[in-house]
Amino acid sequence: MLAPVTERGEVIGLLEIIVPAKPAPQALAEIARTAHALAFVVIANRRHTDLFEWGQRTTAFSLSAEIQRRLLPSAFTCEGGAFTLSGWLEPSASIGGDTFDYSLARDTLHFSVTDAMGHGVTSALIATLGVASLRNSRRAGHSLTEQADRAGDAVAQHTPARGAFLTAILGRLDLNTGRCEIVNAGHVPPILIRCGHHDELMMPRNPGIGMFPNRKFRVGAVTLEPGDRLIVVTDGMRERKAATFDLLNRLLSLAALHPREAARALADGVLAAAGPPLEDDATLLILDWHGHHGRQRRTHAGADVSAVTSADGR
């Protein structure tokens, strides 16, 4: 038997169990609960060992890839009563400085997608300065524009590369109202899918973070409706060889999929069209808004069963 090891929708792995006969429904339920409990064991213990990291790697990491990996959240998927979020990063051969991040507070969901200039270790170091500054400001309770301002100062003051910057989408979603504030710092516009249609959200445009340190950032906002899907991508999903990948129509065709599955399907599509290896990192973050903050999740063994879909969306 193979039982998924999940926590808040994040797929951590599979638990393989050999049983002498087909288990009864009660035994199946016990196995599912055991696999969910194992998720917490893995989460608690992977802080102390490289064992789980070794198990997840199929190729050796370069130094820049190692730095980039440490900038990503420890879980790529997060399910809440009012939302489902999932991100994915498909690295290029030379590492392009992409990151995504999120943090869930009591009534607020913070998220970001960034793309540092250049490639390799220098790009990873610029991304490190930007992401660390954004996290520091976020944890201090600063607004989105203050986060962008401070990150720009950090990149301008401390990066070894001349004229260094990173593009970014910074978001703050009010889980009570669905109002989502967004700062677009020289980045590809977010995409909103609503009622079977897609639109690019044209927020106030700002320069890249660190490009003009003394210039203040402007914020825009959109109020999400239940059933909306918000997608943020980096230019590696839309430019160079990836331009042959019909991203917008593919997004519509995957609308029924769980964000975790849709993210993987989109990453596979870009790889098929532009690689491997990719010329630039391809990163995306998908946010489904369900509304009704405070509603109970319908979970089974660590995943929301109401959001489960098969690989073909049925």
pLDDT tens track for 26-55: 999 999 999 999 999 999 999 999 998 888
Q: Rg of the chain's alpha carbons, rounded to an integer? A: 20
The first and second tokens of residue 35, run together, are: 């696999």
**245 within a domain of the structure (yes/no):** yes
Cα first-last separation, the chain: 23
Same domain, 94 and 142: yes
Predicted pLDDT of residue 310: 44
Q: Digits of tens for pLDDT over the chain (314 positions)? A: 999 999 999 999 999 999 999 999 999 999 999 999 999 999 999 999 999 888 888 788 899 999 999 999 999 999 998 999 999 999 988 888 999 999 999 999 999 999 999 999 999 999 999 999 999 999 999 999 999 999 999 999 998 778 899 999 999 999 999 999 999 999 999 999 999 999 999 999 999 999 987 889 999 999 999 999 999 999 989 877 888 889 999 999 999 999 999 999 999 999 888 878 888 899 999 999 999 887 776 777 777 766 555 444 44
- Helix pair angle (144-158, 120-139), 10° resolution: 140
The first and second tokens of residue 75, run together, are: 């879980």
Token look-up 């301002």 returns 149
Same domain, 7 and 90: no
Query: Distance between alpha carbon 7 and the CA centroid of its chain, in Å?
Result: 16
DSSP classification of residue 209: B
Q: Are 278 and 236 in contact (CB under 8 A)?
A: yes
Predicted pLDDT of residue 305: 65
Same domain, 136 and 284: yes
Same domain, 8 and 66: no
Kind of pairing between the strands at 205-206 and 179-185: parallel
Which residues, in sequence order, are bridge partners of residue 83?
289
Predicted pLDDT of residue 167: 97
How many angstroms separate the CA atoms of 248 and 191, rounded?
A: 9
Q: How many domains does the chain have?
A: 2
CATH of residue 70's domain is 3.60.40.10
DSSP string, 9-29: TEEEEEEE---SSPPPHHHHH
Token look-up 């969901």 returns 109
**214 within a domain of the structure (yes/no):** yes
How many angstroms separate the CA atoms of 119 and 110, rounded?
A: 27
Side chain identity at residue 178, one-letter code: G
Domain extent for 174: 62-307
**125 within a domain of the structure (yes/no):** yes
**314 within a domain of the structure (yes/no):** no
How many angstroms separate the CA atoms of 194 and 26, rounded?
A: 41
What pTM, to 2 d.p., does this model score? Answer: 0.92
Helices H, strands E: what count in the chain? 7, 16
Predicted pLDDT of residue 98: 96
How many angstroms separate the CA atoms of 43 and 302, rounded?
A: 13
CB burial class (10 A; 0-12, 13-18, 19+) of residue 60? exposed
Kind of pairing between the strands at 179-185 and 220-223: antiparallel
**Which residue, among 150, 121, 144, has the nearest Cα to 62 in the 3D structure?**
121
Same domain, 153 and 107: yes
**313 within a domain of the structure (yes/no):** no
